[in-house]
């Protein structure tokens, strides 16, 4: 996890060093905040890839939400 | 932020690529699981149903000229509720884009380059998709124009070269399934290809209005529907229901079967280009919708500054979105319902609220003018 964070941290730092000065110069404060927030989220997500950490698939959430509907439909059509 | 405009033909080509998308590979398996040898009948019914869905989306977008989904939600539901709904749509744009990228990686690492890590293909696909988004709508619409002929040629080649291997017995006996099974098949056919077109609500404001826009759009939807119908039917006729059901990449297996006179075979690698092309366009459109959605929602000045951070997010999420294809396959019914929630359920609700408000406004106007 730490190795992943470090690797993608370096990539992200390089990207930020390229983009942020331009944004600051233009005084685009909102853009700078959004950029940083998304970059941090991206680095955390990418670090899972490098560290091969598996978390529960977000698709299970879709399945859990719609399971009662599927059951109800199956019951209605007698399948 | 510069205003990018795409022409009618470019838009129609994007619609065509989008409808075929990843369904070139997965649809036969999904549909045969629901209706077995009758999957082709479900697909045939699905074409007009899909056209109806495409018509509704166009009609819906026409009610709000020059507005993207973000502005539509704000106009109809107000700032807070509209923004909350936009976030739900943005999450779906992001997830669908990531799943498209992951499907290409899963296919390549399981069928063609088995020693290559999934992450490597994920990264390459993410880079290609983000380059497409960075280049802008106009550029990747032009890319579509360039590739459409190659795509159509290779698609027709697949169908024509498989004709000698067709066995009509594979679709017999006919009409042996219940109405609910047929309906399930139609839902699968329509949801992944036609209902997911709600991402075009982010594209419509950039399409140049012309007199034949609607005609070309519907023609594109029809061609896309016919193309995926042909894929399902050919898969059934050549592979039969059993193999079509258990091979998640049925079209790839189909392409492997091409052998003309012992000198023209092993065409599957060339046909993989088709799959990657159509999936690339679908992934890029969703990624573009996501980036543009954030830009419009937060009223940012330039969408291109988000490319690198969103690229990181897509790359990371493409690994964790699902552990393997079995999970994705199991989620199919829930995914279809998820698609139906976005389009038409929520869009229909927005449409009804908009119509009711317009009627009320008109009534108030006429009443106040009568009083005056």
Q: What is the CATH number of the domain that holds B177?
A: 1.20.1740.10
- What is the structure's pLDDT at A74? 84
Tokens, residue B136: 């802008």
- What is the structure's pLDDT at B233? 94
Q: Beta-carbon neighbour count of residue B143 at 10 Å?
A: 20
B59, exposed or middle or buried, with CB in 10 Å at 0-12, 13-18, 19+?
exposed
Q: Beta-carbon neighbour count of residue B290 at 10 Å?
A: 27
- What is the structure's pLDDT at A79? 63
- What is the structure's pLDDT at B1? 57
Which one of A34-38, A43-47, B365-369 scores highest in mean pLDDT?
A: A34-38
Residue A36 pLDDT exceeds 70: yes
Q: Shortest Cα distance from A46 to chain B (angstroms)?
A: 4
Q: Which of A59, A69, A71, A75 to mutate to test the interface with B (most CBs of B within 10 A)?
A: A59
Domain containing B296: what range? 8-366
Contacts of A67 in chain B (CB under 8 A): 334
Band of pLDDT at residue A1, cut at 50, 70 and 90: low
Nearest CB to A31; choose among B300, B308, B315: B300
- What is the structure's pLDDT at A55? 81
Q: Which of B34, B320, B331 to mutate to test the interface with A (most CBs of A within 10 A)?
A: B320
Distance (Å, rounded) from C-alpha B288 to C-alpha B130? 8
Nearest CA in chain B to A35: B306
Distance (Å, rounded) from C-alpha B127 to C-alpha B120? 11
The pLDDT of A51-78, averaged and rounded, is 86
Backbone angles phi, psi at B299, to 5 degrees: 55, 50
What's the number of CA atoms in the CB half-sphere (13 Å) around residue B288? 30
Question: Residue B185 is inside which H or E element, if any?
Answer: helix B179-193
CA-to-CA dists, residue B350 to B180, B196, B341, B355, angstroms: 29, 17, 12, 9
Please give the tally of structural domains in chain A: 1
Domain containing A39: what range? 2-77
B98, exposed or middle or buried, with CB in 10 Å at 0-12, 13-18, 19+?
buried
- What is the structure's pLDDT at B264? 78
Please give the tally of structural domains in chain B: 1
Longest Cα–Cα distance of chain A, Å, equals: 65
Backbone angles phi, psi at A40, to 5 degrees: -65, -45
Q: Which residues of chain B, if any, have pLDDT below 70?
A: 1-2, 372
Interchain CB contact of A19 with B (< 8 Å) = yes
Nearest CA in chain A to B303: A31
Residue B3 lies in a domain: no
Comparing CA positions, the residue from B271, B273, B309, B274 lying closest to residue B290 is: B309
Write the CB contacts of B18 (distance below 8 Å, at least 6 apart in sequence).
Answer: B193, B196, B197, B199, B200, B224, B281, B282, B285
Q: Shortest Cα distance from B301 to chain A (angstroms)?
A: 8
Q: Do B312 and A65 touch (CB under 8 A)?
A: no
Q: Shortest Cα distance from B332 to chain A (angstroms)?
A: 9
Q: Beta-carbon neighbour count of residue B365 at 10 Å?
A: 10
A to B CB pairs, distance under 8 Å: 113
């Amino acid at each position: 996890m730490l190795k992943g964070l470090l690797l993608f941290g370096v990539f992200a730092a390089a990207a930020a060093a390229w983009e942020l000065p331009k944004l600051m110069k233009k005084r685009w404060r909102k853009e700078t905040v959004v950029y940083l927030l998304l970059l941090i989220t991206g680095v955390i997500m990418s670090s899972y890839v490098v560290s091969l950490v598996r978390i529960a698939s977000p698709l299970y959430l879709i399945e859990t939400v719609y399971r009662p509907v599927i059951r109800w439909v199956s019951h209605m059509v007698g399948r | 932020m510069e205003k990018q405009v795409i022409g009618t033909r470019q838009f129609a080509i994007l619609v065509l690529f989008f409808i075929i998308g990843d369904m070139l590979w997965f649809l036969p398996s999904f549909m045969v699981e629901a209706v077995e040898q009758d999957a082709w009948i479900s697909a045939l019914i699905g074409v007009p149903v899909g056209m109806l869905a495409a018509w509704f989306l166009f009609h819906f977008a026409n009610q709000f000229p020059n507005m993207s989904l973000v502005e539509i939600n704000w106009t109809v539901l107000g700032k807070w509720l509209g923004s909350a709904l936009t976030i739900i749509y943005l999450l779906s744009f992001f997830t669908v884009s990531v799943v498209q990228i992951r499907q290409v990686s899963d296919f390549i690492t399981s069928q063609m380059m088995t020693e290559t890590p999934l992450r490597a293909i994920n990264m390459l696909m993410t880079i290609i998709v983000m380059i497409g988004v960075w280049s802008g709508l106009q550029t990747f619409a032009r890319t579509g124009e360039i590739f459409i002929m190659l795509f159509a040629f290779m698609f027709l080649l697949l169908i024509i070269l498989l004709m000698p291997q067709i066995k009509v017995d594979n679709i017999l006996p006919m009409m042996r399934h219940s109405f609910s099974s047929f309906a399930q098949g139609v839902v699968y056919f329509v949801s992944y290809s036609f209902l997911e077109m709600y991402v075009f609500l982010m594209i419509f404001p950039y399409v140049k209005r012309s007199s034949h826009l609607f005609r070309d759009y519907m023609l594109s939807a029809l061609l896309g529907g016919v193309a995926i119908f042909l894929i399902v039917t050919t898969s059934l006729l050549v592979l039969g229901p059993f193999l079509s059901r258990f091979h998640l990449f049925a079209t790839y297996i189909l392409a492997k079967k091409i052998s003309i006179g012992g000198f023209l075979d092993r065409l599957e690698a060339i046909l993989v280009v088709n799959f990657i092309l159509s999936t690339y366009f679908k992934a890029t459109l969703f990624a573009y919708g996501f980036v543009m959605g954030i830009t419009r929602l937060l009223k940012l000045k330039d969408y291109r500054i988000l490319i690198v951070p969103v690229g990181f997010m897509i790359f990371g999420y493409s690994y964790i979105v699902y552990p393997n294809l079995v999970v994705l396959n199991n989620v199919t019914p829930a995914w279809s319902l998820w698609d139906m929630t976005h389009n038409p359920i929520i869009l229909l609700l927005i449409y009804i609220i908009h119509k009711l408000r317009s009627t009320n406004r008109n009534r108030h106007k006429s009443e106040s003018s009568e009083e005056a």
